[in-house]
Each structure stands twice: as C-alpha cells, then as structure tokens.
Amino acid sequence: MARAATTASAADFVPARLSLSALREAAAGCRGCHLWEIGTQTVFGEGGAEAEAMFVGEQPGDQEDKAARPFVGPAGRVFDEALDAAGIDRSTTYVTNAVKHFKWQARGKRRIHQKPNWAEMTACRPWLEAELAVVKPRVLVLLGATAAQSLLGRQFRVTQHRGELLDSGLAEFVTATVHPSSILRGEPEERDAAFAAFVADLTVVGDALKR
C-alpha cells in the first residue's frame, strides 16, 4: 500500500521539552522547509517567557537575517518608535515572526524581501505555536497579513479588523494591525497619518496590558 506523502515542517524539529532556550537551539537546526538554504540563520523570537505581550511580524529582513534578531532593521525602527509613542517598553515584550528564515531574491547586490507563501507559513507555524505555548502572552499582536493569516486563517483581512480586540482562544486579548514596513512603503505625505494610525492600534495593546 502506498504511504501518504508527508510534508516536511518545523514540527519534525520542535523538542518535546518546551522552553525558550530549548526551542531556540532546536530552531537553529530547522530544515522544515527549503528556506533554511537561502537564509543565513534562523531568526528566533526575542524576549522573556514572562512577557505579557507578544508581537508577531512576517519574517526576518536583510538586517535581521545577519543579526539573528527580529525587527532590528528599518521596519524595526518604525516599530520601536511606535511602541515608544504608545508607551510600551519593548524590553518587556516578546517579539517574533511567523516565518523564521529570510526569503529573498537577488537584485544586483541587494537582497530583496519576498513574501513567504502559505506552504512556508504552514511549515514554520509549529515554532510560533511553541513560542505561544511557552510565553502564554496575555496580549497577542499580529503585525500584518502574514502573521494574522498564519494564526487566524487565510480569510482574515487586517484592513477590515485592524485595532479590534478579536475573539480568539490564542490569548486573553488578540489584535491585528498593519506591518510597520507598510508605513515605509507608503507615499511620504501619507506617512504621518499611517504612523499615527499604527500608534493608535498599539494604544489598544497598551490599554489591554493595563487591564
């Protein structure tokens, strides 16, 4: 009898004992999808298991790929400024991505970000689920469509639900907003308004943390 084809995923690499250090170590050797071949290294989440808020981005970018830390490049600077404006101390949070290797295409000497596809998001989701299981954040914040759809389903539309507290069993408070890089991509004259709207969404997070 023919065996059903199994699809590789991070699930084959997640350790039985769940702790952030064990997860981080195991994720460094993940071969759950083909992206390990093109990224420099796994960029695992950053923060303590006691964090009350967890932020999930899309995937590491060029600078994150080199530094092995999430949100340290241009999008990270927007994120830091917005957190600051919303009165949230990043050092008390847990920050991670839906996909943990940088997916890119060469354009000249530059490495251009490529959106992860559904198969890659699905393959990498076990790491995110394991991070959620360890950190158990009170507030879960999904930054952009990739993070939101990975955890809430492909039908989820950030544009329709940004800044709302969502009905989800993933955490006490779950919300989605735009990805900080969308603010950088917008027209310069629209940036201030886009940034203010992002901060307003993060203020919902700050308020939830005070409850």
SS (H, E, C) 62-78: HHHHHHCCCCCCHHHHH
The entry of ligand URA, ligand SF4, none that residue 71 binds, CB within 5 to 8 Å by partner kind = ligand URA
Q: Cα separations (Å) of 48 from 45, 53, 54, 96, 134? A: 9, 10, 10, 12, 10
The entry of ligand URA, ligand SF4, none that residue 60 binds, CB within 5 to 8 Å by partner kind = ligand URA
Contact indicator for 184, 75 with CB cutoff of 8 Å: yes
Nearer to ligand URA, 68 or 85 (CB): 68
Token pair of 189 as six digits:
């004259």
Question: In the window 41-80, what residues touch ligand SF4 (CB under 6 A)?
Answer: 42
Decide if residue 30 touches ligand SF4 (CB under 6 A): yes
Binds ligand SF4 by CB under 6 A, chosen from 100, 113, 162, 179: 100
Alpha carbon distance 72, 89 (integer Å): 15
Q: x/- string (CB under 6 A) for ligand SF4, residues 138-177?
A: ----------------------------------------
Alpha carbon distance 186, 126 (integer Å): 32
Least CB distance to ligand URA at residue 109 (A): 20
Stretch that binds ligand SF4, among 67-75, 122-130, 157-165, 183-191 (CB under 6 A): 122-130
Residues 6+ apart with CB under 8 A from 27: 10, 13, 42, 44, 100, 127
The entry of ligand SF4, ligand URA, none that residue 101 binds, CB within 5 to 8 Å by partner kind = ligand SF4
Contact indicator for 181, 78 with CB cutoff of 8 Å: yes
Contact residues for ligand SF4, defined by CB under 6 A: 10, 27, 30-33, 35-36, 42, 99-101, 123-124, 127
